[in-house]
Structure 1
Amino acid sequence: MIADTPVLDLDDAAMLEAADTGGALRSAASGGAQVRATAAAVAENALAGLAGLQPRSLLLVSGAGRAGRAAGLLVAALGDRAGLPLVPVSTVPSWAGPLDVVLVSGDDAGDPRLIDAVDRAVRRGAEVVVAAPNEGPLRAAAAGRAAVLEPRVPVLDANRLLRYLATGIAVLRAIAPARSSGDLPDLTDLADVLDTEALRDGPQHEVFHNPAKNLAARTQQRGLILAGDSPATTELAVHAAEVLLQSGGRTATAVDLSVAVAALPQLVDTATAAAPDYDPLFHDEQLDGPPPVEKKRIFLCSTDNDSPAARRKLALFGGAGGGTIDADLVTADIETVPADPSRAESGEPSPEPPTHAGTELERLAVLALRWEMTAAYLRLIGGRAVAGADPDRYDGGPY
């Protein structure tokens, strides 16, 4: 038997849905719903206190998990295009004051660091936004003194990045609408884009037409290296590696593309030294068993609008290691028209929807959702039940 044979077939939609008793696919596909919930809170004037401000900086205080990763992604994606300094900090610095806005994000309403950050920022006269559960000590610290964007869509821990990303976008659109509007997507439009991606990645679509299933299939029986070709995509690669580990139980290394290129000679030497006589051309896994070397696959995450240019970055990996090392490009084509699920159910071919480039944050969000869906599929085909699905905070359910 070949090692790591999947328990379920990725193309068996009925079996995948039956196995997903904990709602892993639904949770991973809820990125659009989380963004839309944030947009609804903004429409209800949750951030009305920020209107007309021209702050000196936006301080990002984040708890552990997806909140910190979302802050890093926002800073890496916008850089100096945000219209004001974005400052990720572990606590509110001594220089913070009435000229600053402080965004405190996290999952734990009892986290002493988040509670202290809210208290310090309020006492120093800064405008404070809290993106966390409105309960416990954090609720007491923020009561009447801070804007609160509490979670409205329950999801698993690994699938919360897009909610925090949406919160950061909402705050920036409120305090710097003119200075960074070209780089900040409208939240409703972003939610539509993510819903379209979730439909494309749904279990009813076969591997060939399903980006997330295709990624899951390409990770099988491979050592995984996730690379980014920019600071933002490298941050995304780290998020993908963490989600693959937390949700899919797969280990992957996340690095900048330059690190992967520099390590290529060592990867080739390791592969050839382990089995100097191995030739993938004459090795039949059905007859000869698993290959005597660990094959490695490099996934380059890119938001480059020029796909041919992005693919050229992988040319160095072509044919390296005698077939034991290969590389794939992971990029996002944003569809402008949602896919029609009724066509998929009836078996009718769907016309190719038109695409557009979108903002960098839109493309990053699409890739984040795709990797989260990939991790959910890897969990299901590996036969693992959803761990940590607390019915008090996540209702699970089918896709």
Structure 2
Amino acid sequence: MGAWFDESRLDDPEVLATWDAVLRPLAESGARVRREMAGAAEVLPAAVAAALVGSRPRAVVAAGPDSRLLRAVLEPWCPVPFVAWPGAGLPGWVGSLDLVVVLAPEGSDHGSASAVSEAVRRGAQAVVACPPRSLVAEHAAGRWTTLFPMATGDQLASAVVMLEYLDQVQLGPRTDAEEVAGALDAVATSCSPHRDLAVNDAKMLAIALADTMPVVWGGSVLAARAARRVAESLRRATGTSAIAGVAENLLPVLEATRPRDVFDDPFADEGGERRPLLLVLDDGTEQELARAERDQLLQAASLRGIRTETVRCRDGLATEVARYASLVLHGRYAAAYLQCGLVQD
């Protein structure tokens, strides 16, 4: 049984109504950030005041499977040694001089619970974002533990709360939670199912992605992470390949593609072959290396007739996290519309 893409479904109110359970959580992304910040508001000032009174920690350890986003934000900026530890437990050297931060928005992850338990046992300062009644919260109880109560299970929202704390204790870059929420709201408005194809970038991107193998690239550290998250969403939406990586890993895929012949039949299925589509996530970073890699990928795509699409952040976003959130949500909307448009024969 095969599948084909029907773009008319993306403007059909009856079809879109059946996809409300997928599209509504995307639209509520900004609201979840605000809700989690409001829930942490009672704890945050006291936690910040206590941290600023003491000396700066020897090192910061982000533990648990959701630590990779914190690593992407903090590694280039954190003024003390920073380690991301996505596995269970903690590095052997962690002790009372160190700060352990844990994102556990669901609160049921055993690896996060193990890391928090180790932090408490060793007397390290621990800051944990998790539901107050959860497995992780039970293991986090201790004299040196600060718990930010989470309610939505949203990984990005919990990360924003933690990054806001690290910003205020001078261990992380500037984080403006309201700007992140506003950026998410702006994407939700521009990509709303109520906006038709002519003015909806996410719907147009979904049409471009149909029947292709997406190759997703982002230049900065956070844009590269956004590329991986978008590729993951596209794989889940279609059940087909979508890859993301650094330029040196993506170039061989583009260079191995058969050049498009102007005399090819545009309606032929080419034996079921899916040609790559290069999707560039542009967060406004103008690093020389990123520009060089982007130009290299675009040139390789042009030489082989590979289509290229670019997703850009809204102008005026001041923080890296807001730009990251904007790119990821845009990609997730496109994945949702791509899935919506697929029809099984």
TM-score of the alignment, normalized to the shorter chain, above 0.5 = yes
Matched, 1:17 2:19: no
Partners of 1:132 and 1:45 in 2: CA distance: 13
- The AA in structure 2 aligned to 1:367 is L
Q: Is structure 2 residue 326 aligned with structure 1 residue 366? A: yes
1:111 to 109, 112, 119: 109
Q: TM-score, normalised by structure 1?
A: 0.74
Tell me the residue number matched to 2:310: 329
- Report the CA distance between 1:330 and its aligned residue: 2.4
> Which of 55, 58, 77 is 1:56 aligned to?
58
**What's the secondary structure of 1:9's corresponding residue?**
helix
Deviation at 1:110, TM superposition (A): 4.1
Looking at structure 1, the residues matched to 104 and 233 of structure 2 have their Cα atoms a distance apart, in angstroms, of 17
Matches within 5 A, 1:1-399: 4-7=3-6, 9=8, 11-12=10-11, 14-21=13-20, 23-46=21-44, 48-51=46-49, 52=52, 53=54, 54-63=56-65, 67=66, 71-89=67-85, 90=87, 91-106=89-104, 109-143=107-141, 145=143, 146-153=145-152, 160-176=154-170, 180=172, 183-265=173-255, 267-268=256-257, 271=258, 279-285=261-267, 289-292=268-271, 293-305=273-285, 312-321=295-304, 323=305, 325-333=306-314, 355-382=315-342
In structure 1, stretches of 5+ residues that fail to align are 155-159, 273-277, 334-354, 385-399
- Give the alignment's TM-score, normalised by structure 2: 0.84
Q: Distance in 2 between matches of 1:283 and 1:291?
A: 9
C-alpha RMSD of the superposition: 2.9
Between the two proteins, the alignment pairs up a number of residues equal to 332
Instruction: Provide the rounded CA distance (Å) in 2 between the counterparts of 1:13 and 1:173.
Output: 44
2:103 and 2:155 in contact (8 A); partners too: no
Tell me: CA distance 1:152–1:108, structure 2 relative to 1, closer, same or farther (3 Å): closer
> C-alpha offsets along residues 339-382 of structure 1, whole Å, 9 cap, x if unaligned?
xxxxxxxxxxxxxxxx3142222211100111122222222222
Q: CA deviation at 1:107?
A: 5.1
AA at the equivalent of 1:366: S
C-alpha displacement of 1:383: 5.4
Structure 2 residue ranges without an equivalent (≥5): none
Runs of 4+ in 1 over 4 A off after TM superposition: 305-311
